[in-house]
Amino acid sequence: MPLFGEDRPRTEDELVQGDAATRALSVTAVENDFVEGVYEKLASVYDLTFGPTLHPGRVQALQRMQIHPGDTILEVGVGTGINCSMYPSNTEITGIDFSAGMLEKARERVARKGTKNVRLLQMDAQDLKFEDNSFDIVYAPYLISVVPDPVKVACEMRRVCKPGGRIVFLNHFLSPNKLLSKAERMISPLTVHIGFKSDLDLPAFLAQANLHPVSIEKVNIPRIWSLVTCVKD
């Protein structure tokens, strides 16, 4: 399995190069009320707009999780519940979301499909109401670049993950290409209105969250989305 997808191999030093531990993650700041408003508006059209386009990344994420029978999985930002029926039936799934509108769609989907191993809760990803070391896998699909404090969310995800468990992010991150990254920073204040910051700095995010990836792969078409897998020490 490639460490950095189709890009050239990079060393860990390159991944957390320079001032990554202190530099700003994004030019765009948001608050919970703003995020909630965006996703309340998107709830009715999310599946049609982002469902098929981003689905290959969801499939690949589940493959990389190395799920075992009996595993407990926390999905942070469950949205409309697109992933819920994809998990093995012999696992225990908890899905949380800040948006009541998104959760309503997720509950309708779970009921319609008769999915029995999923519980859905309204919760702030920055303040997870779970004990330490509660889950075998903690997964944030297409979420981390829109929350007010990505590092705080990542630290909460790490806290509730069991030692040796997997912490998985599926997201768009700032391009390493100078021209593309400049454009992404320029449009980030606009893209946040459709659910993501286009300029979240991956090396800075990982360094500040004290996370060490075991793999980073490009997914979806176009391949501007990344699947980042970390293992809790």
Q: Using an 8 Å Cβ cutoff, are 120 and 101 in contact?
A: no
- Per-residue pLDDT of 92-128, as tens digits, reads 999 999 999 999 999 999 999 999 999 999 999 999 9
What pLDDT is recorded for position 15? 47
Helix axes of 32-42 and 100-113: crossing angle, nearest 10 degrees: 40
The structure's pTM equals: 0.88
Indicate whether 3 pLDDT > 60: no
What pLDDT is recorded for position 16? 44
Domain boundaries, the chain: 31-172+209-231
Angular region, 77: left φ>0, alpha ψ -120 to 50, beta rest: left
Task: Map residue 161 onto helix, strand or coil.
Answer: strand
Which CATH number does the domain 31-172+209-231 belong to among 3.40.50.150, 2.60.40.10, 3.90.1150.10, 3.30.870.10? Answer: 3.40.50.150
Whether the ω angle into residue 56 lies within 30 degrees of 0, i.e. cis, is no
- Per-residue pLDDT of 23-77, as tens digits, reads 889 988 888 888 888 888 887 888 888 888 999 999 999 999 999 999 999 999 9
DSSP annotation of 79 reads T
How many CB atoms within 10 Å of residue 94?
22
